[in-house]
């Protein structure tokens, strides 16, 4: 096992190997440095904790016990920077010092709402359109950091000898591990062999193969085959999270309730989630998209549908409110806008195909029997484009003992040709449950750099009782080449859930996770 700092902003100062060396089963205790000093890091070499203590022993339980007894001292990191190869372009990444907290992050993010940000797209004259509008609506949305929490904690087997490196384990991007390890060990690529095992979940987390490198370095030093195992706590506190984001929206309606101006301003710790050219870009004559970022020493990484997993919920909740203000049915309202993009698009860089986005909305409207929900059932709708596919959900909710409960989700997806329909449906069902779980309960918070949730007793994962009884998945039949499916059904869940919760509770939810968000009653 490895021992990493208990908080972001701390690093290893010293440790006393003798404090545990004589414990039963303990073979060796030493330091490893995952990355070479000054090296240009690969894009997936993200790592806040490159300086670790390794404990090698005969069995997992013995090492777990020894780990608890290890005497180790930590010290604050200093401001630093390193080079990263961002798909062919070398960039310099600044890492701040300090111990960060969730409360401070939210204060900083709230502060950004009133500041000018970088304009990523502008169509028409948004400023004057807002001034002359009959009605304007302004809202902001936010979400916390999330840990991937793959069911199988990070782990890897390694056997490193003088002339060969054999690795085996679960990793999403073996070729990236190979490249980093070759440079770390000064070995040619051909000397490194990686065998892949099934992954107990990836969700993006296993694109970051630092744990495979750690296993190799431990094996090299211990001169023995080793299996590196992360405890759940190690896994949850090592970093590489879904970032915390915030987005503010503004919409203007004219006298006839047409959407005449739209503004989105989005940012986060430490990256912006903005997609400037996605819906409703292209549907509004006066449009502006802006972005900002707040730097952090908490590491982030790809998490099922990066950035979309926040933007979809924010945008689709906001459009629901705008449709309501315009006195229109939420599906009709979206379809009207999509019709405009099709017949007379604003701008040239719209990322999505309006016809296919409208297609999933129409299909979900039909399959869910949208206009006729049962009494006591509250419905929310949402549709989103990402990873080259289109997904729309209608989510049904009831109030049970004063608590909202999702009973049914009907989903329509256009991802081109579906090759394995049953596995595809299973993937979409899982994405929907994952979306409900993370929107409702998912949250990783920090106090003085330290993750406050470290295992499943404090990090709430959706369970059997909270899952809808029925999920229906419908695929648009066409002959288009297949596109993404792991990600696309995930992001729109957040919006459909928020919109159904509004109907069920009379409250608009703006801050995830919704379970702890207590917004006022609307109207």
- Should residue 506 be labelled a site residue for ligand FES when binding is judged by CB under 6 A? no
Site for other proteins in 179-218 (CB under 8 A): 198-203
Distance in angstroms (rounded) separating the CA atoms of residues 316 and 160 = 51
Site for ligand FES in 192-221 (CB under 6 A): 201
From ligand FES, other proteins, none, interface partner of 429 (C-beta below 5 to 8 A by class): other proteins
At its nearest, how many Å lie between other proteins and the CB of residue 145?
17
- Should residue 376 be labelled a site residue for other proteins when binding is judged by CB under 8 A? no
Distance in angstroms (rounded) separating the CA atoms of residues 98 and 79 = 8
Output DSSP code: residue 507. Answer: B
Distance in angstroms (rounded) separating the CA atoms of residues 214 and 229 = 10
From ligand FES, other proteins, none, interface partner of 422 (C-beta below 5 to 8 A by class): other proteins
At its nearest, how many Å lie between ligand FES and the CB of residue 148?
12
Distance in angstroms (rounded) separating the CA atoms of residues 108 and 267 = 11
- Should residue 128 be labelled a site residue for other proteins when binding is judged by CB under 8 A? no
Distance in angstroms (rounded) separating the CA atoms of residues 379 and 371 = 10
- Should residue 422 be labelled a site residue for other proteins when binding is judged by CB under 8 A? yes
- Should residue 151 be labelled a site residue for ligand FES when binding is judged by CB under 6 A? yes
Nearer to ligand FES, 149 or 309 (CB): 149
From ligand FES, other proteins, none, interface partner of 15 (C-beta below 5 to 8 A by class): none
At its nearest, how many Å lie between other proteins and the CB of residue 130?
41
Closest CA to 10 of 71, 96, 75: 75
24, 376, 482, 506: residue in contact with other proteins (rule CB under 8 A): 24
Contacts of 375 (CB under 8 A, 6+ apart): none
From other proteins, ligand FES, none, interface partner of 349 (C-beta below 5 to 8 A by class): none
99 to 10, 104, 105: CA distances (angstroms): 8, 10, 11
- Is the torsion defined by CA of 488, 490, 491, 494 positive or negative? positive
Return the residue matching tokens 């920090």.
446
From ligand FES, other proteins, none, interface partner of 62 (C-beta below 5 to 8 A by class): other proteins
At its nearest, how many Å lie between ligand FES and the CB of residue 500?
25
Alpha helices in 273-396 (DSSP H): 308-325, 330-343, 354-368
Site for ligand FES in 57-86 (CB under 6 A): none
With contact defined as beta carbons under 8 Å apart, do 380 and 367 qualify?
no
Nearer to other proteins, 19 or 101 (CB): 19
At its nearest, how many Å lie between other proteins and the CB of residue 224?
16
From other proteins, ligand FES, none, interface partner of 426 (C-beta below 5 to 8 A by class): other proteins
β-pairing, 259-269 vs 286-293, is parallel
Distance in angstroms (rounded) separating the CA atoms of residues 274 and 241 = 18
At its nearest, how many Å lie between ligand FES and the CB of residue 62?
18
110, 456, 478, 482: residue in contact with other proteins (rule CB under 8 A): 456
From ligand FES, other proteins, none, interface partner of 71 (C-beta below 5 to 8 A by class): other proteins
Return the residue matching tokens 């169509």.
123
- Should residue 464 be labelled a site residue for ligand FES when binding is judged by CB under 6 A? no
- Should residue 11 be labelled a site residue for other proteins when binding is judged by CB under 8 A? no
Could you count the other beta carbons within 10 Å of the beta carbon of residue 448? 14
At its nearest, how many Å lie between other proteins and the CB of residue 173?
17
Q: How far apart are the first and last CA of the chain?
A: 55
Q: Is 87 exposed, middle or buried (0-12, 13-18, 19+ CB in 10 A)?
A: exposed
At its nearest, how many Å lie between other proteins and the CB of residue 74?
13
Distance in angstroms (rounded) separating the CA atoms of residues 246 and 243 = 10
462, 476, 500, 501: residue in contact with other proteins (rule CB under 8 A): 462
- Should residue 461 be labelled a site residue for ligand FES when binding is judged by CB under 6 A? no
User: Across-strand partners of 72?
Assistant: 15
Nearer to other proteins, 141 or 208 (CB): 208
With contact defined as beta carbons under 8 Å apart, do 381 and 331 qualify?
yes
SS3 489: coil
122, 135, 232, 367: residue in contact with other proteins (rule CB under 8 A): 232
- Should residue 482 be labelled a site residue for ligand FES when binding is judged by CB under 6 A? no
- Should residue 24 be labelled a site residue for ligand FES when binding is judged by CB under 6 A? no
With contact defined as beta carbons under 8 Å apart, do 150 and 301 qualify?
no
The angle formed by the CA atoms of residues 295, 98 and 457, to the nearest 5 degrees, is 90
Distance in angstroms (rounded) separating the CA atoms of residues 445 and 450 = 8
From ligand FES, other proteins, none, interface partner of 149 (C-beta below 5 to 8 A by class): other proteins
At its nearest, how many Å lie between other proteins and the CB of residue 17?
11
Here the tokens at position 291 are: 């972005």
Nearer to other proteins, 427 or 500 (CB): 427
Closest CA to 176 of 138, 147, 207: 207
- Should residue 480 be labelled a site residue for other proteins when binding is judged by CB under 8 A? no
- Should residue 423 be labelled a site residue for ligand FES when binding is judged by CB under 6 A? no
With contact defined as beta carbons under 8 Å apart, do 307 and 386 qualify?
no
Return the residue matching tokens 């990873």.
387
Pattern 424-443, binding to other proteins, x per CB under 8 A?
--xx-xxxxxx--x------
- Should residue 62 be labelled a site residue for other proteins when binding is judged by CB under 8 A? yes
**Residue ranges that bind other proteins, judged by CB under 8 A:** 16, 18-20, 22-24, 59-62, 64-65, 68-69, 71, 149-153, 198-203, 229, 231-232, 422-423, 426-427, 429-434, 437, 455-457, 461-465, 467-471
Interface with ligand FES by CB under 6 A: which residues? 151, 201
């Amino acid at each position: 096992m490895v021992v990493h700092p208990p908080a972001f902003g701390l690093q290893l100062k010293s440790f006393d190997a003798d404090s545990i060396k004589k414990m039963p089963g303990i073979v060796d205790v030493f330091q490893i440095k995952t990355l070479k000093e000054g090296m240009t890091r690969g894009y997936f070499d993200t790592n806040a904790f490159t300086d670790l203590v390794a404990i090698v022993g005969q069995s997992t339980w013995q090492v777990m016990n020894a780990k608890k007894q290890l005497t180790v001292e930590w010290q604050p990191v200093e401001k630093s920077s390193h080079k990263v190869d961002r798909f062919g372009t070398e960039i310099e990444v600044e890492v701040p010092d300090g111990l960060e907290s969730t409360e401070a992050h939210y204060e900083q993010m709230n502060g950004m709402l009133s500041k000018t940000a970088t304009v990523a797209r502008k169509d028409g004259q948004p400023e004057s359109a807002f001034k002359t509008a009959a009605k304007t609506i302004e809202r902001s949305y936010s979400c916390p950091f999330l840990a991937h929490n793959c069911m199988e904690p990070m782990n890897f087997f390694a056997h490193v000898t003088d002339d060969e490196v054999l690795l085996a384990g679960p990793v999403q991007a073996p070729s990236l591990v190979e490249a980093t390890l070759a440079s770390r060990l000064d070995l040619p690529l051909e000397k490194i062999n990686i065998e892949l095992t099934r992954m107990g979940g990836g969700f993006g987390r296993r694109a970051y193969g630092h744990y495979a490198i750690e296993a190799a370095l431990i094996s090299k030093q211990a001169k023995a085959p080793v299996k590196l195992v992360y405890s759940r706590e190690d896994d949850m506190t090592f970093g590489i999270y879904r970032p915390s984001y915030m987005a503010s929206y503004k919409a203007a309606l004219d006298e006839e309730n047409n959407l005449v101006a739209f503004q989105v301003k989005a940012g986060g710790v430490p990256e912006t989630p903005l997609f400037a050219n996605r819906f409703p870009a292209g549907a509004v004559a006066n449009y502006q998209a802006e972005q900002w970022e707040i730097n952090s020493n908490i590491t982030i990484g790809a998490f099922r549908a990066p950035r979309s997993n926040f933007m979809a919920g924010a945008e689709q909740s906001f459009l629901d409110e705008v449709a309501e203000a315009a006195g229109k049915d939420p599906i009709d309202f979206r379809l009207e806008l999509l019709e405009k993009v099709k017949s007379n698009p604003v701008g040239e860089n719209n990322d999505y195909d309006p016809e296919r986005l409208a297609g999933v909305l129409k299909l979900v409207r039909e399959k869910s029997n949208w206009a006729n929900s049962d009494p006591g059932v509250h419905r929310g709708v949402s549709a989103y484009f990402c990873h080259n596919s289109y997904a729309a959900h209608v989510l049904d909710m009831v109030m049970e003992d004063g608590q909202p409960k999702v009973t049914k989700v009907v989903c329509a997806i256009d991802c081109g040709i579906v090759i394995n329909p049953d596995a595809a449906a299973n993937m979409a069902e899982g994405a929907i449950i994952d979306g409900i779980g993370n929107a409702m309960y998912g949250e990783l918070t920090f106090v003085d750099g330290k993750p406050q949730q470290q295992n499943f007793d404090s990090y709430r994962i959706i369970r059997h009782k909270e899952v809808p009884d029925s999920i229906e998945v419908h695929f648009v039949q066409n002959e288009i080449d297949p596109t993404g499916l792991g990600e696309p059904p995930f992001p729109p869940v957040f919006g459909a859930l928020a919109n159904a919760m509004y109907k069920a509770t009379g409250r608009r939810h703006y801050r995830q996770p919704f379970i702890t968000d207590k917004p006022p009653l609307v109207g």
